[in-house]
Copies of this chain bind each other. A is one copy, B any other.
Amino acid sequence: MSRPHVVIIGSGFGGLFAAQRLRKTDVDITLIARTTHHLFQPMLYQVATGIVSEGEIAPATRVILRKQRNVRVVLGDVTTIDLTTRTVTSRLLERITETPYDKLIIAAGADQSYFGNDYFAKYAPGMKTIDHALELRGRILGAFEQAELSDDPEERERLLTFVVVGAGPTGVELAGQIAEMSDKTLKGTFRNIDPTLARVILLDAAPAVLPPFGEKLGKKAAARLEKMGVEIQLGAMVVDLDYDGLVVKEKDGSTRRIESQCKVWSAGVQASPLGKQLSEQSGVELDRAGRVKVQPDLSIPGHPDVFVVGDMMFVEGVPGVAQGAIQGGRYAADAIKAELTDGQTPEQRKPFSYYDKGSMATISRFSAVMQVPIPGTKKKFETEGYIAWLGWLALHLVYLVGFRNRLNTLINWFFAFTTRGRSQLAVTEQQVYARTALDHLSEIDAAVDPAPDKVTPESEAG
């Protein structure tokens, strides 16, 4: 290839928006991603709780980029980035692909963090991928099915106790939706149990719900959740997990056990292990979550051609949300464009600055919290309830990729919010009958590629 070759790792907000930003630039782009789709992660909890289908929030990356002729999409799991030979190695099944780059944008995202207790994943899947969401859907509905068949009151209680670990936006949204699903969608569908009596517990080691939203909105969200029947337990840190429940440690050091079969983890993130490779090769620092402490221009020291954006990137004041990734991806694309078309040198780059468009989280239908900075001030406009919810609705529709997805989602939302119905409750047999299907994913992975040099979160941790 004679034109400069830009390699982008990841098809999330950072990677996709970077690729699209280079639409008219005279470069060849290769976008390497582990999944075939661009995932609209803010709505993943709705797949898990049966409101929308996975297709609606996960359009095929290739189809999105069909008309952008300067981009090539490669499916594969990136195993190695070599900064010296300027090569990215990826793997799809037994097929190894090496892709040389002139410019590199790394947007490989983050996975759930279990803070060193990786075995937790088996009992409390995260909420980062389509696999996770479908798995959780199966686990939630499976717990109700098992409870219906149990005549042991203790077992039944354990099966009807749902624990969401982590009271950030995803945790709050999940807890709210599990409560709504049991109160409305499943009401009257069982004969031996009353699904409306299911307990939903939202746990966090922190002392507040939705900490980034501040005390006022956090308390409003908590109050609203409690009104829906969600039990909120703050200052409670999970110290052990097993198939039947979990152990939490209170602030006073005492521990207690909660019996619960269906648990979900949204308590923290661990950036892609590719960050560690960058650190080893360039000396760039990582923060505790494995995020790369990039230069002000989002590149890594000594490698002005290598950018890290999105959830893998650490920049003071930039939250790990879609907007952070989108703006980072676009910034990196613009820097590449400026260099190639205007001859801008890396030294001339203006530092990346994050424009906070505000943030929001839904709690239930008709209820959300929203925070929007007031331009020219350091203050934020805060609102909650119905208005915030309408704002959330509109914004998410706008950001969903594809007109048809929007139309289908609008219909699904209309019914989910005005009736008790949810149209996407289908569960595969694999999800119902495989007790720990996620567990098998890693076994399958290991069986397919026993190569010792493969970098996975597990091998990193080990």
Interface centre among A35, A93, A426 (most CB of B within 10 A): A426
Contact flags A180-203 to B (C-beta < 8 A → 1, else 0): 000001101111100000000000
Q: Which residue of B lies closest to A415 (CB)?
A: B404
A55: chain B residues within 8 A (beta carbon): 50, 53, 423-426
Is B411 a contact partner of A92 (Cβ separation < 8 A)?
A: no
Is A444 a contact partner of B448 (Cβ separation < 8 A)?
A: no
Is B95 a contact partner of A149 (Cβ separation < 8 A)?
A: yes
| Bound complex: CA A404 to CA B423 (Å) | 7
Is A129 a contact partner of B411 (Cβ separation < 8 A)?
A: no
A93: chain B residues within 8 A (beta carbon): 146, 433, 435
A145: chain B residues within 8 A (beta carbon): 36, 75, 92
Q: Which residue of B lies closest to A191 (CB)?
A: B72
Is B150 a contact partner of A429 (Cβ separation < 8 A)?
A: no
Which chain A residues numbered 407 to 426 have a C-beta less than 8 Å away from chain B?
Answer: 407-408, 411-412, 415, 421, 423-426
Given B34, B131, B189, B432, which contacts A60 in the complex, CB threshold below 8 Å?
B189
Which chain A residues numbered 377 to 394 have a C-beta less than 8 Å away from chain B?
Answer: none
Which chain A residues numbered 14 to 73 have a C-beta less than 8 Å away from chain B?
Answer: 34-37, 50, 53-56, 58-60, 62-63, 65-67, 72-73
Smallest Cβ distance from A211 to chain B, in angstroms? 31
A141: chain B residues within 8 A (beta carbon): 36, 60
Q: Which residue of B lies closest to A35 (CB)?
A: B429
Smallest Cβ distance from A401 to chain B, in angstroms? 11
| Bound complex: CA A440 to CA B412 (Å) | 33
With A55-B50, A77-B433, A429-B129 known as contacts, the answer to whether A189 contacts B66 (CB < 8 A) is yes
